[in-house]
Structure 1
């Protein structure tokens, strides 16, 4: 019996070690999820402005300096695109960023990411998907989701439900609302408030949550750069709940 117990323990040891290795996490200052709207209201030109804006943000020396300036000196970041309630696609997987080389590689991955367009706008679906991405090899002092979009939720479950569940997990939800010059008929006919007010009141949440408003896709690059720099700050300075870029 004793020998069989020893044999069983010996056989179980490799699996135990693998499980321990799987649970091992790399400490970072922030775990940052970038959630990018690719619904029908975002035309190909506007989508390219979005991707280019994120790409250039991670090439900016100021952002890289911010990444390196935290207590750990690194962040973990990933990007996915979203549209309908069931359509979310990881375009850049979790990556540790700790200097110009890794930030540049992340920017290259964004530049090479596929551009696709779908139909509806499910902010709730994006929140649900984003909340499941944490805990994959990294452990940050903060967990932040950066949701960018140009429309209100029109697919999937109510935003309030998804938002509440994400906040209960200690996730901070920040928003980047793009005020399109030609808002969708759905938004106009729904009786909902303007998009910036909608994002402020219904989307963002958590300690220090804030909204950046880009007044048109041409303002997206400046808006997203400012937003990420503020998100990765080691000690986020008290700032406006809503910032605007024209």
Structure 2
């Protein structure tokens, strides 16, 4: 009986096996404050960041799953590139091509950050085999419609989803502080500041580097 109990205890203490290190949802702001040129800067910058040699190697090594979401006002969030397994450099390049070529879904609506987080969070149910669940959200303004982003924090924590953000301070110089106080959540969560859209490509690259090269033991 003692041996059986010991075996059972060992089984219970064995950590779950994961086939994927990171599930990364890239949530891009396409609200009315983002013009067509700024939208293109975001998508091209994101595609270039994903192709960074260190970023792409980390994603391939971790067999990451990556997804692209466009979001704006209430009830306007859409997965435009679904979960894609990054198990080769060809896979990351194909995903980056889809990001760069992704047509804009909306262009004249408000900013509902809380609903963007709620909607994106629901898609992590299909990638439960990934060790880390992370939403990477960009934005150039405060939430002005729908549920407050801070009201979603409790369920994000409960479900083990971390939120990092990039604040594009084109017209709102205090946006980084707002994102820090109201948007990001999870142990080690962080905000990266871009002074404007022109600064976005380099800042998103550095943000991706910080996110995907974390040791898997340093979970958020």
**What band does the TM-score fall into relative to the shorter chain?**
0.7 to 0.9
Query: Which residue of 2 is the match for residue 75 of structure 1?
Result: 64
Q: Deviations over 1:140-198 (max 9, x none)?
A: 11100011000001010122211222122111110110001x34xxxxxxxxx911100
Helix, strand or coil at the partner of 2:80: strand
Aligned counterparts of 2:63 and 2:58: Cα–Cα separation in 1: 9
Q: Does the 8 Å CA contact 1:81/1:91 hold for their aligned counterparts?
A: yes
Aligned counterparts of 1:159 and 1:234: Cα–Cα separation in 2: 25
Matches within 5 A, 1:195-210: 195-210=175-190
Q: Does the 8 Å CA contact 1:37/1:82 hold for their aligned counterparts?
A: yes
Q: Gaps (5+ residues) in structure 1?
A: 1-24, 184-192, 239-246
Query: Is 1:216 equivalent to 2:196 in the alignment?
Result: yes
Q: Gaps (5+ residues) in structure 2?
A: 1-16
Query: Which residue of 2 is the match for residue 46 of structure 1?
Result: 38
Q: Does the 8 Å CA contact 2:134/2:162 hold for their aligned counterparts?
A: yes
Helix, strand or coil at the partner of 2:136: strand
Query: Is 1:61 equivalent to 2:41 in the alignment?
Result: no
Alpha-carbon shift at residue 68 of structure 1 (Å) = 3.5
Quote the RMSD (CA, aligned, Å). Answer: 2.0
Query: Which residue of 2 is the match for residue 28 of structure 1?
Result: 20
Q: Deviations over 1:98-129 (max 9, x none)?
A: 23200000011112211231310000011100
Query: Which residue of 1 is the match for residue 213 of structure 2?
Result: 233
Alpha-carbon shift at residue 236 of structure 1 (Å) = 6.9
Query: Which residue of 2 is the match for residue 7 of structure 1?
Result: none
Helix, strand or coil at the partner of 2:73: coil
Query: Which residue of 1 is the match for residue 133 of structure 2?
Result: 143
Matches within 5 A, 1:49-128: 49-69=41-61, 73-115=62-104, 116-128=106-118
Aligned counterparts of 2:47 and 2:18: Cα–Cα separation in 1: 24
Aligned counterparts of 2:100 and 2:189: Cα–Cα separation in 1: 28
Aligned counterparts of 2:21 and 2:197: Cα–Cα separation in 1: 30
Alpha-carbon shift at residue 43 of structure 1 (Å) = 0.9
Query: Is 1:174 equivalent to 2:164 in the alignment?
Result: yes
Alpha-carbon shift at residue 27 of structure 1 (Å) = 1.8
Q: Deviations over 1:216-239 (max 9, x none)?
A: 10111111111112111241799x
Farther-moved stretch of structure 1 (74-83 vs 91-100) = 91-100
Farther-moved stretch of structure 1 (155-164 vs 29-38) = 155-164
Helix, strand or coil at the partner of 1:58: helix
Query: Which residue of 2 is the match for residue 18 of structure 1?
Result: none
Aligned length: 201
Query: Which residue of 1 is the match for residue 10 of structure 2?
Result: none
TM-score, normalising length: structure 1: 0.77
